[in-house]
Amino acid sequence: MLTRLMAGDRPVAWNYGFQFAGSWFWYQPTFDSEFEQSSPGICLLAKIIAEACERPDITRVDLGLGAEGYKDRFANGASETLHVTLTPFRSDHGKEVLRYRAAALIKANAGLERTTRFALAKLGASSAQLARNGFFKSIRAAAKRLRASAAGSEETVFYEWSRGCRFDKLTAPIVFSLKLLDLEQLAAAAMEYFDDEKALNYLLRCADRLKSSEYRGYALIRPNGTALAFAWVSLSPVCPLTALNYEAAGLAPNAAFLFDRWTSRSQPGQECDEKFAQLIADDLARTNRTLWMLVGSSSDDSLRKLAGSGFQRRYSILQRRLLFHQRAELRNAATAIGSVEVPVAS
C-alpha cells in the first residue's frame, strides 16, 4: 500500500509499505528533496504511528532493518533478525558454521574488520577488472603496478585547466549543459541504472557527500534533461588524495581539485569529458577559483587522456616509500614546474 503526506495539494513524502498480521511496515519511504529541510519523511512516519494507535487492527509499526538514527526517536522496542541456512549435506553445514564463526571473530576486532573488508573489496575489483578487460590486459596492468611498487616511488602530477583551451575549437558541436548536483538528479540516475551495482554505489557515495561544504558536485545534462556524467571538486585546501596528506594552498592558490568522476555507458567520447571540464572551470571562475587535477602513476587511462587534452602540467611530486615515516610532508615546494620528493609511510 502507498501512503503519502500532502502539503496543501502537493505530495511531499511517500511510503510504499504493507500491512500484515497486525503490523504496518515502514518499507520504502522517500520524500521530495525540495522540502528536505522540513523533514517530510519524519512527519509522514509520525502520522502513520498516530493513525496506527487509533486502529484496533494494528498492533505494531515495523520500522524494518537498519539502525538509522531517526528510528530511535520513535521505537520503543526491537526484534532480533535471524538468518537460517538449511542444507541436507554435512559438508555444506560445516562450511556455513565456519564462515559464521569467522565473521563473528572478525567483527569483534574493528581493525581486523576494516582490513578484511578492504581485502574483499580489492578482490572484487580485481575480479571485475579481469572480466571487463580480459586476462592479458589485466596481467599487463598488474605488472605495471608491481614495477611501480618495486621501484618504491610513485609520481603524482598537478595539472591546471588552461582557459585558453576553449571548447569551441572542437570539431563536433556539444549542446550539453552544467548543473549543480542534487538529490533529484541522483534519484533519476538511480532509476536509470538500477541494475548497475557500481553506478548505484557511486550514487550512494554522492548522496552522503551532498551536505558537505568542502565539496561541490556537478552533473552534465543532456538536452532531454537526463544526466550524462557526474564529477566532484574539492574546495578544501587539502588535496583529495589520501597518500598526499598536506595542504596544497602553497602550490595551487584558490584551487579546486577535480575528483571522483562518473560517466554513463552512453558517454560519446573524449570531447564530452573536455566539455564537462570546461563548464566546471567556467563555473569555478565566477568565484575566483581554478580547476586542478591530480594524476598518479596508477591513474586510469581516461584520467590521463583528460589531463593531456585541456590541462597544463604545473608540478610533479615524487613519493618515496620509506620506513618509519608516519605521514607525508611536503618539502621544498616548487614555484614553477618542477619535482618535489615527498617521503610517505610504507
Among candidates 104, 32, 28, which has minimal Cα distance to 66? 28
pLDDT tens, residue by residue, 61-99: 999 888 788 888 898 888 888 878 888 888 888 888 898
**Are 179 and 315 in the same domain?**
yes
Residue 78 lies in a domain: no
The number of folded domains in the chain is 3
**Are 162 and 116 in the same domain?**
no
Question: What are residue 182's phi and psi, to 5 degrees?
Answer: -140, 180
Domain containing 10: what range?
Answer: 2-73
**Are 115 and 220 in the same domain?**
no
In the listed set 130, 146, 162, which residue is the last one of a domain according to the structure? Answer: 146
Question: What are residue 159's phi and psi, to 5 degrees?
Answer: -120, 140
Residue 83 lies in a domain: no
**Are 184 and 200 in the same domain?**
yes
The confidence score (pLDDT) of residue 52 equals: 93
Calpha distance 79→71 (Å, rounded): 13
Residue 172 lies in a domain: yes
Residue 81 lies in a domain: no
- State the virtual CA torsion across 165, 166, 168, 171 in degrees, nearest 10: 20
**Are 301 and 287 in the same domain?**
yes
DSSP 143-194: HHHHHHHHHTEEEEEEEEE-TTS-GGGSSS----EEEE--HHHHHHHHHHTT
At residue 121, the 3 state secondary structure works out as: helix
**Are 294 and 166 in the same domain?**
yes
pLDDT tens, residue by residue, 102-135: 888 888 887 788 788 777 776 766 676 667 667 6
Q: Confirm if 152 and 321 have CB atoms less than 8 A apart.
A: yes
User: At which residue does the C-alpha cell 569483534 appear?
Assistant: 108
The residue-averaged pLDDT of 303-330 equals 62
**Are 125 and 25 in the same domain?**
no
What is the pTM (predicted TM-score) of this model? 0.61
**Are 176 and 69 in the same domain?**
no
In the listed set 106, 127, 146, which residue is the last one of a domain according to the structure? Answer: 146
At residue 324, the 3 state secondary structure works out as: coil
Residue 252 lies in a domain: yes
Calpha distance 303→280 (Å, rounded): 16
The residue-averaged pLDDT of 179-187 equals 90
Q: What is the percent of the chain with per-residue pLDDT over 70, rounded to a whole number?
A: 72
pLDDT tens, residue by residue, 209-261: 888 888 999 999 988 888 889 999 988 765 555 445 444 555 667 888 888 88
**Are 294 and 252 in the same domain?**
yes
Judge whether residue 300 has pLDDT over 70: no
Average pLDDT taken over every residue of the chain: 77
**Are 46 and 159 in the same domain?**
no
